[in-house]
Amino acid sequence: MSLVLYEAEGAIGFLTINRPEALNALNADVLDALDKALDQVDQNVIRCLIVTGSGEKSFVAGADIAQMSTLTKAEAEAFSKKGNDVFRRLETFPIPSIAAVNGFALGGGCELAMACDMRICSDNAMFGQPEVGLGITPGFGGTQRLERLVSPGMAKQMVLAARNIKADEALRIGLVNAVYPQEELMAAAKKLAGAIAANAPIAVRASKQAMNEGIDLPMDEAVVVEEKCFGSCFETHDQKEGMGAFLEKRKEKTFTNS
């Protein structure tokens, strides 16, 4: 059975980490499977991705400690690079992604969720970076993305004290966008994905690119990125269709990603 399932439903793609017997813990094989699953996404058709975990207990409980425990320094650095390469690919993937966090999102699971563009979670979700309690640091971007998403002080508290937080606190500090009862989580994820998919794909992807590339730049450089992304949308079918519908006062729009 595949360690990562990929399914498409209309314009929405679903990536499911499928290792429920290990609470969907990440190992090298799972990372490879996630990378290959991204290869399956038809970027001409899919307009939003939903990333989730198999079962009701866990999104991803972390990286596989049994596999990591015997690594040498060089092997550990290579494993960290493998995870970072895959997560960075997801983060910079042209198509927006939503993490639908169902249960535990610890260590590598929290890092996978943070590599997605948006995060929503079930009311039983738990987030954390517990690595220092195991004698290591976060290795798949946790020391970098967390303090970009929440305050540096809160990020350092979570990492340095190995402090897990529940769904309500994750919402309060801005780590997630919304919290839902577990039975409503996937419907909410599909609704959000549908709202994104209804918009012009060229504009959505250019907006994601502008935000991703601009966030770490000085403002004078960041607005140049925006200007180029703004200009890239013009002379496209989708720009003419969107503006034409507005001027003609019609609700129906046909965006073709062209």
- Which among 96, 145, 93, 109 has a CA at the least distance from the CA of 31? 109
Return the DSSP state at 249. Answer: T
The active-site residue, picked from 131, 147, 241, 252, is 131
Could you confirm whether 183 is annotated as catalytic? no
Catalytic residue status for 131: yes
In terms of DSSP bridges, do strands 104-106 and 118-122 run parallel, antiparallel, or are they unpaired?
A: unpaired
37-42's contacts with Cβ under 8 Å and 24+ in sequence apart are 37/4, 37/5, 37/6, 38/89, 38/90, 38/93, 40/6, 41/6, 41/13, 41/93, 41/95, 42/8
Beta carbons within 10 angstroms of residue 81's beta carbon: 13
DSSP string, 112-142: HHHHSSEEEEETT-EEE--GGGGTS---SSH
Give residue 235's region: left, alpha or beta (phi > 0; psi -120 to 50).
Answer: left
Instruction: Classify residue 193 as exposed, middle or buried by CB count within 10 Å of its CB (0-12, 13-18, 19+).
Output: buried
**Rounded Cα distance, 20 and 227, in Å:** 45
Catalytic residue among 77, 91, 111, 169: 111
Beta bridge partner(s), residue 87? none
Active-site residues, by number, are 111, 131
